[in-house]
Structure 1
């Protein structure tokens, strides 16, 4: 029989908890850590001492580390926690639910493989049909989807706090599936849980109206998305190193992580933006190991057969594949405290490169209730919409939907205050 994968050999899963305020995100992570026996004895003792009573542990205290978070009973910053089961390793991110901290949620979602979007049915009008989800629940679902999170898990929390758990779960699940269909989302699963009491978190619920897996069982089986390997190869240069060999010869090693494809020794290389060409003379791995080839997801150093003017922020790739764009359309998650202004100047970060740019147009804002373009072409804080950007220099962009975040995502930063204005996903 095949052996179960171990934490050392199974890829770690990055998981985000999202949803509206007080839906139980911090409590859920605390419950996962507690029930998976991922807490040290001193951590558990400290938790008991900090909790209000000895009977009910305030599990949110495990992630709400800031003094302001503990005083106000809210999550402000993103907290990461690490644990492992016999089947895999996990990196958990607890994101704020408040609308004013949406930018923190976007930061956490950008690097996550899965998102658990919680829904608190006690906040909903269960008598209303069709059932209406909270705006922040819809916003977090859309953001997680638009930011490329591969697995969307919809968790109906506090199932112990409603009179008819089966009927409530059915109604909320139907509302979630309806919204997902309208928004073009494909949820991985919809499941009931009670983070406070541990129902269906690590152990199955065991009721006639739900026969699915527990949350942890589901998380242990989700595949980690792999970078595209069949596309032309590309590598954003993070660092250029001179490597002396003791003879006075100092070849340059261009270090970075391959975002797509496979590269082999001897293949032709084109540099973006200069357009210069060379061939791959050697591929270095960490520790000085030389490879015959490397594939997407690996961090490697490329040695070229001739010296070229390459610096941090440049791209290396197969010839004729790194085509630059100065003007492009993108989906924007507007994160600044001030509304967007057409003509606004900004810095764009793409890969390891910073370029100047301007907001050329706001085509529309997305109405979170109808999921259709709104009539007004304005973006207020935490709005989603479609914009047109003009960059001062060409960037090797690809649509986010096909290329992922490496070539299809950018950050827009205010040049004066250095505040993050928006997260951009190339259309």
Structure 2
């Protein structure tokens, strides 16, 4: 599994490069992950280090480069500034440049794709972090007295900055309500997530954040709905077909819901990408999974079904009742339960496979007689901890 990260020391108290290398090399993103096929890159800059970890021989979507002027660039995800002429499909990485100009970070704000990009200019000694417009690839950061630490992997970030792991009850509650934490929140204290469409700059110890793009509501009353729908679907189809080319080890998680059905319909007719459905032994999900099987049959997709282990299903009823849907549980369970370690990329309904759909609050919350039960049974740190352990 790939990750990128680094730190910026306000007092320029840099760590030993070999120490950073060994720490990144030893970390396992997954419990059953092999280390012998890891490739680790560590770059030193005037105020700290950048690092990247990727698997050898696969399209890791990690780019890392130091140019002749000692400027540094690393990224995770896919991006382009020149209609994909600057993307290496064979390597699954951005083609390195001979010289990264001082305004390169500003140019990244105009890039297309799903990415986190980090650029350090050696002359100005400024560190820039830019993510895509929707924040599809998460980047987490923590500010301490001595520096700014960041990483695409939240738990490795706790090791990098040396903070103890402390659960944040607000972040945990948001995860169970929406399937995600909201805004910059995470489920850990003192750890934040970079907001979408952000250009963060650190120069001379000062941190600046700039939101470079926002979605605007600009209704066009003269719009032809049919023509616009056709254009929108064409662009979605174009995007899905591009993603399908990124790696031969791609899987379509097909739940039977609207999002995954549309993604399946956008695949090329000659696509060999298989589909997989996670199954919970509950009768009220039978119809949805029957739809998934029918969609796969109609489109000629190879389709497999995997069951969620009973120990997870026991907690499911309470969580589904609270959240009004399976989404928060299903997406947490699928990585642990399915044989997904053989795939590099998931083609699901969320950008980058990271933004899962939120759920409307269930009517269960509106029942006055259930208020005390909710407060005592669910809204307690002990329940969250027990559920996470399960």
Classify the TM-score, shorter chain: under 0.3
Please state which structure has a larger fraction of its residues in strand: 1
TM-score, length of structure 1 as denominator length = 0.25
> Which structure's residues are more often helix, by fraction?
2
Q: Which has the larger radius of gyration?
A: 1
User: Structure with the greater relative contact order (CA < 8 A, sep ≥ 6): 1 or 2?
Assistant: 2
